Every structure is written in structure tokens, then in C-alpha cells.
Amino acid sequence: MAKESKSSNKAAMPILNILAIIVIILVVAAVGAYFYFGQKSSSLQNPKTPINTSTVVTSVTTTISTIVSTSIIPAISTSTTSISTPSRKSNDYIYISNIGNFSVGSGTISVINSSTNKVIATIPAGISAGQMIFIANSTYAFALTQSGVSGYHNISIINYTRNQFVKNVSLGRSSITAFEMAITPDGKSIYVIDTETCGATINGQAINQPGIVQVVNISTYSITNITVGSCPEGVLFTPNGKYAYIPNLISNSISVINIQSRSIISTIQLNQPSGVLAVTSDGKTLYSIGNSSNYNVNSILYMINATTGSVGRVATLGLISQIIGINPTNKFMYIINYGSNSISIVNTSINLIENSVSLPSGSSQMEFSPDGKTAYIFGYYSNYIFVMNTSSNKITSQIPIRGGAVAMNMTPDGKFIYVAIDNQTNSKAPGVVLAINATSEKISSTIPVGINPDYINAIEVHS
């Protein structure tokens, strides 16, 4: 039946088109006659009044266009403009984890819209809120939250497009002391680092007890416990997403985990406690810093062949060193030497320290601008942010801030720097976040947030 209907429609089309053309001709003729005789009569009565030919043309054209658009004659488009899909709106949002006051259970997450620099939502987070991580191209974020006396025992799931709490996932171990987590490159699992064994001592001496890394499946929220070295501190994933490196501070080792099988495949032994790691973009070289338990001894930077696990000594650093990261634009690695107030800048192409920059006392944190051209440096409870040009590796300016700085981050568009300021005089009073214009290097807004702000995430949210 559908085919017969289509055939009859096709047969009717020529007739209807002919009728439409006849209608058009009649209308044109009628309009022309009206204007010809009407205007001629008017001109005879008033010879000075000209015939407005443009009105005739415009009127006829409009009439034809109206008939064509309302008839069954398909309009023929001569436009070469392509139809484009409207772009999605996006804004940069700042998420502040507020530790709160443990005695009253006031942990919250403050959400700031960077367009207005105002708090648009406050999400409850139990006794205390810790580190947050976000899944790319998703609507969910995860925050470590506390339900016990010490450490974080839950992962709180948050819909960050709606700024709503969804649910808590218990980490399942009452003794867990989780302070750090990271999401695998494929976005399928969360690695939670249990630092409980970091404080284990006998007669004042640290003991080498195995540590635990908990791997949470984001789809099912099932948990796999992986035993690693003593006092695991952080996790680093290879760029190809196949392996996870866990530095173990007390056992002087690095545990290598196969992400797919969730099992230890090797252990890299070092001569000194290993902390923060870095890996080159090709995944071939792993860097680790050996910090002596005697803080008067210079730290050592180790280069590790990621394929063979062989360890080579690269360079002697300053005191109490930590890797900040590798600048993706120029392949230089930046290492802050907290104990000797300096930055060591390593050329990862040749594994040599090419520069050393003196820093004010207490500098311990650094953030790169999105284009990698500028580095912003500050220390806990610092009164200044120091601005460094990464081409010349020179401090070019300093931004005065009020004391109590505990965290810093930058919007993905590079327009604003956000600094969390703790209330040093009253642990139960709300903190603030400073919004600093990166171009003018001036504080543009002071934003009240929750109690004891401690972590800052700056992300782009699409709507």
C-alpha cells in the first residue's frame, strides 16, 4: 500500500505544478495591470507624480516568493553556506575541597563559577573532604571523604554537571588511612593509596610493613587490594595506560603494577627512600628522587629504564627534593629543593641539570600555565606567589597574597589563578579563595568558602 500511495503522489505532481505556475502568471498579470492603469490614471490627474517602478518590482517579487514558499513547488537553494552544529557552551569551574572541622563534621565541597567568581553550590561531604578527581568526558567526580577518626574511608561520587552528591562507596577497611587517589588513563579504575603503614614504628623506628593499594572498578565499585611495599606514597601511570608505578618510602622501592591484570609484575629496588615520580612522554624513562632520612644529605635523582627496570644515577640535587613535573612544551623537568630553597631544571633529552634557580625560603609548590610558558611558585602559608618565565628560567614578578596559602590551581583557559587561604587564627572559621587575574597579576575577587580549604581542582564543564 505504501508503494501505491507514493506512485499516485508522483503522478499528481506535474498537474499541481502546472496549476501553481498558472496561478503565478495570473497574479503577476493582475498586479501589473493594477499598477499600470492605476498609476497611469493617477499620473494624468497629477502629471508630476512618477510611476514607482521599484514598488512594482518589489511587490511582484514578494508575491512570487510567497506563492513559491507556500506551494508544492520545491524551493531551489543557491546558497553555498553549510549548516553547522551549534557549539556547546562551556565554563571553567573551580572545586574546593574543604577539610572542615573534625569535631563538628563540616566537610564540604565549594563550587565556584570562574565567570562570576561566586560560589554557586556547596556539596556536603561528611566529616571531612579530601582530594577530588574528575573523569574526562563524563559527568562524575570522586572525592575522598572521611567517616572515621583518621584518614579517608569513603569515595563520594558527585555529579559535577548538576553539582549534586550521588552516593558514597566505602573502601571497606576500617583501618585504612587513604590520602591520595588517581584515575587510570582509560577512566575505568581509581587507585587509592593507603598510607597506614607509613606511621608504623617499633621503639621509635619505622618498620617495613607491606602497604596496600586499593583499585576501585568505576562501573561496579568492586575493590581489589594489591599488596605493595611499605608506606606507598602516590601513583604514576605510564602514558600508554598499561602500568602503574607506586613509590614505597620505607622499603626504598617502586612497585610496578600491570593495570589490566591488577597484579605486581616487578619491584625496582633503590638505595634511598623514593617519593614523587615522573615519566617521559614516550614512557621509556622513569625518574625517581631518593631523599635520605638525614635531611642534611643531598637528594639523588635516579633515571630508570622503564623496560628493563635498571637504575642509573643521574644527578645530585639539593636538600629535601620533590619532582614537580615535566613541562610538556619544552621537555624540561622541574624539581623543587625545599631544604635548599632552589629549583633544579633538568633537560630530559640529555639527563643533565641545565639550570638552578634560587627561591625564597619555604617555596614548595609550582603550577604551570596551560601553554607552559609561565610557572607560578608558592609555599605553604606564603605571602607571595612568584612568577617565573620558563624560557629564561628567571623570576619576573611576585604577586602579594595574604598568608595562609595552602593550595593553588589555574583555569584551563589560563585566565585565572586560584589560591586557597586557610584561616590561621580560627580553625572553625571559613577560609577564602583568591581569584587572581593572570594577565594583570592582581587579585580580582576574594571568595568565602568552607572551613579549612585544602584542595583545588579547576576544570572545564560543558553544558
Nearest to 96 by CA among 333, 444, 431, 446: 431
Nearest to 198 by CA among 173, 244, 233: 233
Nearest to 422 by CA among 455, 457, 445: 455
Question: DSSP for 256-299?
Answer: EEETTTTEEEEEEE-SS-EEEEEE-TTS-EEEEEE--SSTTS--
Q: What per-residue confidence (pLDDT) applies to 263?
A: 95
CA–CA dist 63, 177 (Å, integer): 79
Which amino acid makes up residue 433?
Answer: V
* Residue 47 φ/ψ region, left for φ over 0, alpha for ψ in the -120 to 50 degree band, beta for the rest: alpha
CA–CA dist 450, 393 (Å, integer): 36
CA–CA dist 451, 386 (Å, integer): 26
Mean pLDDT across the chain: 75
Q: What is the CA radius of gyration of the chain?
A: 34
Eight-state DSSP code of residue 320: S
CB burial of 409-419 (b: ≥16 within 10 Å; e: otherwise) equals bbbeebbbbbb
Q: How many CB atoms lie within 10 A of CB 3?
A: 7
Q: What is the pLDDT of residues 232-261, one digit of tens each?
A: 888 999 989 999 999 998 888 999 999 999
Eight-state DSSP code of residue 62: H
Q: What per-residue confidence (pLDDT) applies to 16?
A: 46
CA–CA dist 22, 152 (Å, integer): 82
CA–CA dist 114, 329 (Å, integer): 26
* Start-to-end Cα distance in the chain: 45
Cα separations (Å) of 91 from 43, 114, 118, 249, 456? Answer: 65, 7, 13, 40, 16
What's the sign of the alpha-carbon dihedral 443, 448, 450, 451? positive
The CA angle 301-302-306, to the nearest 5 degrees, is 145
**Parallel/antiparallel/unpaired status of strands 342-347 and 332-337:** antiparallel
> What are 296-300's contacts with CB under 8 Å, separation 24+?
299/337, 300/271, 300/272
Q: Which three cell numbers stand for residue 113?
A: 563559577
* Regions in the chain scoring below 50 on pLDDT: 1-13, 16, 27-28, 31, 33-90, 462-463
**Cβ atoms of 280 and 303 closer than 8 Å:** no
CA–CA dist 213, 455 (Å, integer): 22
**Cβ atoms of 366 and 324 closer than 8 Å:** yes
Please, which residues bridge with residue 254 across strands?
247, 268
Q: Which three cell numbers stand for residue 456?
A: 583545588
Q: How many CB atoms lie within 10 A of CB 83?
A: 4
**Cβ atoms of 386 and 395 closer than 8 Å:** yes
**Cβ atoms of 126 and 144 closer than 8 Å:** no
Q: How many CB atoms lie within 10 A of CB 155?
A: 25
Q: What per-residue confidence (pLDDT) applies to 257?
A: 96
Q: What per-residue confidence (pLDDT) applies to 225?
A: 92
* Residue 41 φ/ψ region, left for φ over 0, alpha for ψ in the -120 to 50 degree band, beta for the rest: alpha
Q: What per-residue confidence (pLDDT) applies to 21?
A: 57
Please, which residues bridge with residue 267 across strands?
255
* Residue 331 φ/ψ region, left for φ over 0, alpha for ψ in the -120 to 50 degree band, beta for the rest: left
Nearest to 455 by CA among 433, 436, 426, 429: 433
Q: What is the pLDDT of residues 53-108, one digit of tens each?
A: 333 333 333 332 333 333 332 332 222 222 222 233 446 788 888 877 655 566 88
Q: What per-residue confidence (pLDDT) applies to 131?
A: 77
Q: What per-residue confidence (pLDDT) applies to 11?
A: 44
**Cβ atoms of 270 and 286 closer than 8 Å:** no
Domain 359-463 bears CATH identifier 3.40.47.10: no
